[in-house]
Amino acid sequence: MKSVILKSTTKLMAVMAIAALEVRGEEATRTANTPEQRIVVSVADRKLVLIEGDCALRIYDVALGKASTPTPQGKFAIINRVPNPAWFGLSGTVAPGKNNPLGSRWMGLSAKGYGIHGTNVPSSIGKAASHGCVWMRKQDLEELFEMVTVGTTVELQGEPSELLTRILSAGVSE
């Protein structure tokens, strides 16, 4: 009986290892064949731009941190992506749904505790309203969520770079 379980477990582990290698190979091929995508957020303009190479794919209005809880600045990465997240706060848990302060998607950043997510207060978009996270409209968030992956670079800029200034003045590339 033990040998049957051991053989089954070994086969299962081998299948999982092969699947993991195939996924890594697909990701490496996709990465090698496409220009690098990154997200750049202008804190001053309250805009999030999805950039591929030097071209803007999308520009979104966002809400960012208020003066007492500013959005961190620097270069980070998306470390996880969660559809329909639950929110865990000091007063308890809020299940996914319209009352959830995270909205319908969460993209966690390598800056601990910060992320790009929705809001249950859509009128806050375009304002300094969050505790430092990047808030997006539901439709915009869900579109961006499908376009980026774990590992995507996220630059949070206090003052927009020359490239970002040029993109924001020109709009989205066709």
Candidates 62, 64, 116, 133; catalytic one: 133
- Contacts for 99-105 with beta carbons within 8 Å, 24 or more apart? 103/135, 103/136, 103/138, 103/141, 104/138, 104/141, 104/142, 105/81, 105/141, 105/142, 105/145
Q: What is the dihedral of CA 124, 129, 134, 135, to 10 degrees?
A: -20
**Does the annotation count 55 as an active-site position?**
no
Candidates 47, 81, 105, 117; catalytic one: 117
What's the token pair of residue 90?
A: 């000091």
**Does the annotation count 133 as an active-site position?**
yes
Residues recognised as catalytic: 117, 133
